[in-house]
Amino acid sequence: MTALASGATSPTSQDPTRRRPEWLAGLWLIAPTLAIVIGMMLVPLCAIVIVSFWTQTGFDLDTSFTLANYGLLVDDALKCFSDGCGLYSTLIIKSLWISFVATSAVVLLAYPMAYFMAFRIQRGKLVWIILLTVPFWTSYLLRVFAWKVILGFNGVINSGLKSLGLIEKPLEFLLYNPASVTITLAHAWAAYAVLPIYVSLEKIDRSYLEAATDLGDSRWKRFWRVTFPLSLPGTIAAILLVFIPTVGDYITPTLVGGPSGIMIGNSIATQFIKANNAPLGAALSCLMMLAITLAVCLFLAVIGKKRLKGADI
């Protein structure tokens, strides 16, 4: 606000952004957000990196520098090449994979919905935006209970199929496996995917689309040549918003994942809370953050190359 306000009240400058160098105006505008994020995040971030080089016995932290935690994780990963991955590598790979599958499902389902809202709804779009978030004004736990009622042993699907005479015994494969984790996640993150895609689709200038049609493009071709590239910022936002948090999620796998429902987030929580091994928990967190960052950079690099327009990031 400060940047805008000072520009507005300064009597000498009608146009501060032209008089002030552009880079300064940009920095000035982003400074408050950056200051808040850095102020609040820097200490946790440094703490986690530093602690990951310590060791702990009981509640006593040994603050001498050591690579022991990382050594343990490297050994754990090296086992992948001999007799099957160790615990932590298994969990990281599994978490990335489940998150990848869930993100794909969420975004693929969300895109047509966002497209529908952007191009088929003429009036009352605000109502649609709100309508999309209303289901999430209840607790996640309650929504999981509801999914259990639908997918569960004597649940809606099983009772329905039974009363139709299609099955005799309840189907048990509906719940407590990676598929139910994916369904639950696809539901939980729906709004986070639909809304960013919608806002970027909605701003597309209709004249581009008309121009493409005038040039003789088919609908499908027009979509890939014009609409999709222009909606990429929103699609990327959706992918990041769903992928990053789900890698570290540990509540969903516990609730609907069955006996094997454990992900790296569970293990990190265990180290901090139950096993009293904060340094190992910190090292695991660093490893997870690194894995996510690499996955995201890889993704952005691939997308960046494919993007038609030069908008960076």
Partner 1 sequence: MSFLRRHTNLLSLFAVLYLLFLYVPVLLLPLFSFNDNIYVTLPLKGFTLKWYESLAGNSALLNALWASVKVGIGVSIISTVLGLMAARAMTRYRFPGRRSIYALILLPLVIPYMVIGVSTLVILRRLLDVELSLLTVGASHVLITVPLSMLVLMARMEGFDRSLEEASRDLGDTAWRSFRRVTLPLVMPGIVSSFLLCFITSFDEYLLAFFLAGSDSTLPIFIFSTLRFPNKIPDVLALGSLILMISIVLVVLAEWLRRRGISGSDSSVL
Partner 2 sequence: MKKQEILSAMKAGRLTRRDMMKLMSATGVTMALIPMGRARAADEAINFTWEGYNEPGFHPAYAEKHGAEPEGPYFADVGEALAKVRSGFKVDVVHPCNLDLKNWRDADVMQPIDTGRLSHFGDLFESLTKLEFAQGDNGEQYFIPVDWGNTSILYRPDLVEVQEESWTMLWDERYSGQISMAADATESAAIAGIVLGVADPFNMTDEELAKAKDLLVKQKSLLRFYWDSNSTVEQALASGELVMSTGWNSSVVTLQGQGVPVKFANPKEGIMSYCCGLVLMKDAPHIDKAYDLIDAMIAPEAGKWLIESYGYGHSNKKTFEIVEDAMLNERGLPKDPNLFFAKGIFQRPTADADRLHKMFEEVKAGA
Site membership for partner 2, residue 5 (CB under 8 A): no
Site membership for partner 1, residue 285 (CB under 8 A): yes
Give the one residue of 159, 177, 276, 277 binding partner 1; rule: CB under 8 A. Answer: 159
Site membership for partner 2, residue 87 (CB under 8 A): yes
Contact characters 35-74, partner 2, x per CB under 8 A: -----------------------xx---------------
Nearest to 148 by CA among 266, 259, 257: 257
Stretch that binds partner 1, among 35-43, 54-62, 74-82, 173-181 (CB under 8 A): 35-43
Query: Cα 240 to chain center, whole Å?
Result: 5
> How many C-beta neighbours within 10 Å does residue 135 have?
13
Stretch that binds partner 1, among 42-50, 56-64, 67-75, 173-181 (CB under 8 A): 42-50
Token pair 């935690």: residue = 69
Site membership for partner 1, residue 226 (CB under 8 A): no
What is the token pair recorded at 194? 């639909």
The DSSP annotation for 20-50 comes to S-HHHHHHHHHHHHHHHHHHHHHHHHHHHHH
| Partner touching 241 among partner 1, partner 2, none, CB below 5 to 8 Å by kind | partner 1
What is the token pair recorded at 253? 């796998």
| Partner touching 227 among partner 2, partner 1, none, CB below 5 to 8 Å by kind | none
146 in Cβ contact with 175 (< 8 Å): no
List C-alpha distances in Å: 198 to 80, 124, 192.
42, 14, 10
> Whole-angstrom Cα distance, residue 98 to residue 184?
12
Task: Give the residue with the Cβ less far from partner 2, 145 or 224.
Answer: 145
Q: How far is the CB of 153 from partner 2 (least distance, A)?
A: 4
Residues that bind partner 2 (CB under 8 A): 58-59, 84-87, 90-91, 94, 126, 145, 148, 152-154, 172, 176, 254-255, 257-262, 266-267, 270, 272-277
